[in-house]
Amino acid sequence: MIDQVDYSLVYQELGLNPIWKEKLQTDNLKKEICFYQKFSLNSNTVFFIGLTDEKEIISKQKLFANISNYLCLTNENTAEKYKKTSQECLISLEQKPDFILLLADNDYSLSDDLLNVYNSSKVIKSKTSMVDMIRDTKNKEILWQDIRLLINKIKIKST
């Protein structure tokens, strides 16, 4: 009976896999998800971008949708629904934003290519993430402060 035991399963269950196998497994889990919403504020085009992974994706998608809906209430034009896309697709968009509000999980950031296309001084990175806001609702206050910072920058630019 012992001859029939699959030792690789036993090693995996006990957490004794060789380090190179662990590295391959964690690399496979880190697939980037990019949400994107475009809206206008004081005649300025603003992109709201959320970068995350696939863990708890339904909760994160719902949170992004709620924040997008709030931001679109301030929109001067009729806004489209937010989209799930990739950073490469954002680079190829015809319209370039005047400002970017970035909500990214800790392991994610805008790619260098995207920062080269868009002026990095236009990017306002939130001090919180979707994961943090899902775990502790007090972190939503940090996002609202970042949104106020964005609105103040837009007002300064407009005057």
**11/119 Cα distance (integer angstroms):** 49
Q: Are residues 37 and 69 in the same domain?
A: yes
Q: Are residues 24 and 96 in the same domain?
A: no
The domain tally of the chain equals 2
**81/37 Cα distance (integer angstroms):** 7
Q: Are residues 146 and 73 in the same domain?
A: yes
Show pLDDT as tens, one digit a residue, over the chain (159 residues): 455 666 666 666 666 666 555 554 545 445 788 999 998 888 888 999 999 988 888 999 999 999 998 888 877 666 678 899 888 888 888 888 899 999 998 888 888 888 877 776 788 999 999 999 989 888 999 999 999 999 899 888 877
Give the pair of three-digit tokens for residue 29.
């889990």
Q: Are residues 47 and 112 in the same domain?
A: yes
Q: Are residues 17 and 52 in the same domain?
A: no
- β-strand pairing of 44-52 with 33-41: antiparallel
Q: Is the pTM of this model over 0.85?
A: no
Reported as type and span, the H/E element at residue 149 is helix 140-158
Q: Are residues 75 and 19 in the same domain?
A: no
Give the pair of three-digit tokens for residue 96.
């370039």
Amino acid, res. 40: S
Residue range of the domain that includes 7: 1-29
Q: Are residues 23 and 36 in the same domain?
A: no
Q: Are residues 96 and 45 in the same domain?
A: yes
Q: Are residues 55 and 95 in the same domain?
A: yes
What's 84's DSSP letter? E
Judge whether 99 and 153 are in contact, CB under 8 Å: yes
Q: Are residues 25 and 78 in the same domain?
A: no
Judge whether 85 and 49 are in contact, CB under 8 Å: no
Q: Are residues 69 and 116 in the same domain?
A: yes
Q: Are residues 1 and 50 in the same domain?
A: no
